[in-house]
Structure 1
């Protein structure tokens, strides 16, 4: 059984005629008959009988027709993927949520670009709520960060999401902040009475910390700054509090420069996800990055202390910030 034989049979089954299939393929009808004869002999089934100027599939022929269409479709997809890899040189269009882009994307994508020859990436930061529809419209190949929620009315959204990094959000303040000296649980209402800083995305509803906040039934007025790094600088200066990533502030908490405020319900555990279109539509390079993001090497790079973690902005897009 060969791919050529299956392609010929699939076309005959679809058109219902050896003559029509031969004309479509640009070969003689005896050539089509020869391919089908070899297939019949290999499978020990007549596959079809001639009827009313065309053919009628046997039960075995109907079963094979379904497999043949799938196999031929997969073979054509493989050809397109190979051609795409040759012409696009592994280019990936990535959409990321702002916290991931700032705190981990640079390290992950730098290591990925080093490990995968020919890979190149363009990264654009968007709100998590918009990423699902953009993925389905093929604006981007892969989404990194918060898990894209299903667009309204999408039902089976057709997106495969794989978790690749677990994090915790902790409430922190400067050592001299009035809340820093409290040892028992701090009520959320007491926290909301003071300035609360965040990055440009605020606290996204699609994130675990966003869902936790929504479950408390409050809508705090959050001061959004240009980055979470700038927000953390305001906290260090004693101007307010923020929900920071635990692994980012771990050393400052240990040194006493920052204090974890014991707000009830925190720390809030969350996950970052790598999301692609489902397996039949995702590009090979997107699936490669999705698998790579979950490896131990990728995790170690993203959470290692010191050095730049984020992306460098150039024009309207973000590109990997490289370092030695």
Structure 2
């Protein structure tokens, strides 16, 4: 059994496909099959079997998958720690969900940097559907915005910011002149807009699942773009209240009466169990739950979030002086 074989198997287990694992590793599919064959011979277990149009793990394969992810993650973490020690620095790797990154991440990181200057931070914005696996593999030190599913590997999870969404429209939208009792039925026939993670958090998934009909939701690259479409009178949106409160107060946007709103959601911070992550990750998780962090994230001042461009965004570092510094072509 080799590290290369375990790395290959861990990817196959996570992605559910030999082809996807080969593409991720930059090797051929036969090479992936050969690595699995070697593990089968070594362990005396089939590990994976064909199931429908894909593959499924055997009980032995499921047991190995947990260990493989842990071992590969520890090796990669060890290499990074050695590299960090050599250059006498540290980089905190953060995975942030799109909505949290856009609406609150900038202010959270700026406030944390003022309180804890020193480490560099690389933030990757993604939908984080497999955040738990990515944390266990130590691809990231901390995930912000999502609560990973429970697993055999213990995770330290903490809710840190409650938010509310309401259904809004432009003042000139036809629904604003409709009697409140008739809004729900008519709203479901309208076009809705969202950012890239519509229905992502569990609270929003449950809310959409409970609707009598599913509206036509157009996902855009950011919630800012979705709000722009709503302001132009092109449709409706479930918007975060603390982001649009000024527009609601001045009449720039109109809140529509809709059952189940305001929809209350929660943003979470997650790491591996304490003692198994860099001190900066544990420190950021604890800071995120502080009153100081909440006040910063709800403030109307400062950089609210991180702008999403493409499928992922690498946002620059905060300096040793604690100032958030944008990269050359990304906005913070």
Matched residues in 2 for 1:186 and 1:272: separation? 32
C-alpha displacement of 1:193: 0.9
Q: Give 5+ residue unaligned stretches, structure 1.
A: 1-79
TM-score by length of 1: 0.67
2:167 corresponds to 1:168: no
The aligned residue for residue 200 of structure 1 is: 196
- Whichever of the two has the greater Rg, that structure is 1
Gaps of at least 5 residues in structure 2 are 1-78, 318-323, 327-332
Deviation digits for residues 50-95 of structure 1 (CA, Å, limit 9, x no counterpart): xxxxxxxxxxxxxxxxxxxxxxxxxxxxxx9998985563421000
Q: Given the alignment, which residue of 170, 177, 181 partners 2:177?
A: 181
Structure-2 separation of matches of 1:217 and 1:135: 37
Normalized against structure 2, the TM-score is what?
0.66
Name which of 278, 282, 286 aligns with 1:287: 282
| Structure 2 residue corresponding to 1:305, chosen from 295, 300, 307 | 300
> How many angstroms does 1:322 deviate by?
4.5
Count of residues in Structure 1 that have an aligned counterpart in Structure 2: 240
- 1:78-136 per-position Cα deviation (integer Å, ceiling 9, x unaligned): xx999898556342100010001111111111221222121210011121322111111
Report if the CA contact (8 A) 1:158-1:278 is conserved. Answer: yes
2:270 counterpart SS class: strand
Greater CA drift, 105-114 or 305-314: 305-314
Per the alignment, residue 256 of structure 2 pairs with 261
Contact 1:175 1:259 in 2 (8 A): yes
CA distance in 1, matches of 2:94, 2:216: 31
Task: Give, in angstroms, the shift of residue 192 of structure 1.
Answer: 2.3
2:25 maps to what in 1? none
**Structure 2 counterpart SS, 1:243:** strand
- The runs of at least 4 consecutive aligned structure 1 residues that moved more than 4 Å come to 80-88, 185-189, 312-316, 320-323
In the alignment, the residues of structure 2 paired with residue 84 and residue 277 of structure 1 have an alpha-carbon distance, to the nearest angstrom, of 21
1:282 to partner: Cα distance: 2.5
Q: What CA distance in whole angstroms lies between the structure 2 residues aligned with 1:142 and 1:248?
A: 24
Are 2:124 and 1:124 aligned? yes
Residue in structure 2 matched with residue 248 of structure 1 by the alignment: 243
Counterpart position of 2:42: none
Deviations 1:228-266 (A, max 9, x none): 001101111111000000001111111111110111111
1:124-180: CA deviations, max 9, x gaps? 112132211111111100000121224xxx3x3411111111100111001111112
Partner in structure 1 of residue 266 of structure 2: 271
Map of 2:210 onto structure 1: 215
CA RMSD between the two structures: 2.8
